[in-house]
Amino acid sequence: AQKVTQAQTEISVVEKEDVTLDCVYETRDTTYYLFWYKQPPSGELVFLIRRNSFDEQNEISGRYSWNFQKSTSSFNFTITASQVVDSAVYFCALKAAGNKLTFGGGTRVLVKP
Amino acid sequence: DTEVTQTPKHLVMGMTNKKSLKCEQHMGHRAMYWYKQKAKKPPELMFVYSYEKLSINESVPSRFSPECPNSSLLNLHLHALQPEDSALYLCASSQDQKGRGQPQHFGDGTRLSIL
């Protein structure tokens, strides 16, 4: 069985602060994929990134960066110099055997001006 | 703008009504999904269609009836719903179901309220 844990339910920061969202996963499969999605108040889940289990390279995309560490089963997400538009719920998700997407509980990020 | 379009955006219905939710994608994806999301919870998978055939039904009550008329369209027919069925209903698509690394692309959802 797969499991994704996002221990932080809500994070509040002031604009321009950095914020790191934690994601810890469990799976017995050696081949799996990890995803991050953003859900703004409008409701749509926006795909942000995909990482496969064989690629431990960290990735940076603009103000977003991701740190994948297989040794600790973690796939953390950092927003640098946060902006009000970053306010949303962020979900980490895992896809392994069975092909179903297993979501974490989500972390609500509130960026105050 | 999302590439998965869902209509209507909001729906209020009584417990005896029959209504349908619609989802459309034009990305050539062959897998389509329905999820239910309650407030402050992650999405929960309801149904998966792969190449227009129902491949997964997560033990969803029969008052929810999915339909995939063609590779671009996905419907969810609703009948005799209960107040606890009030939620955000999300549609998603991916290239196909088997490819684990393929991301699912989501629509804006339909906010459903049952009176």
Q: Is A33 on the interface with B (CB under 8 A)?
A: yes
Q: pLDDT at residue B105 above 80? A: yes
Mean pLDDT of chain B: 93
Region B24-50: what's the mean pLDDT? 95
Q: pLDDT at residue B115 above 80? A: yes
Q: Which amino acid is present at B26? A: H
Q: How many Cα atoms occupy the beta-carbon half-sphere of A81 within 13 Å?
A: 2
Q: Is A110 on the interface with B (CB under 8 A)?
A: no
CA distance A58 to chain B (A): 17
Residue B27 binned pLDDT confidence (cut-offs 50, 70, 90) = very high
Instruction: Count CB pairs under 8 A between chains A and B.
Output: 49
Condensed to tens digits (0 to 9), the pLDDT of residues A10-32 reads 999 999 999 999 999 999 999 99
Instruction: Note whether A44 contacts B106, CB cutoff 8 Å.
Output: yes
Confirm if A4 and A94 have CB atoms less than 8 A apart: yes
Distances (CA, A) of A110 to A31, B35, B39, B41: 34, 25, 17, 17
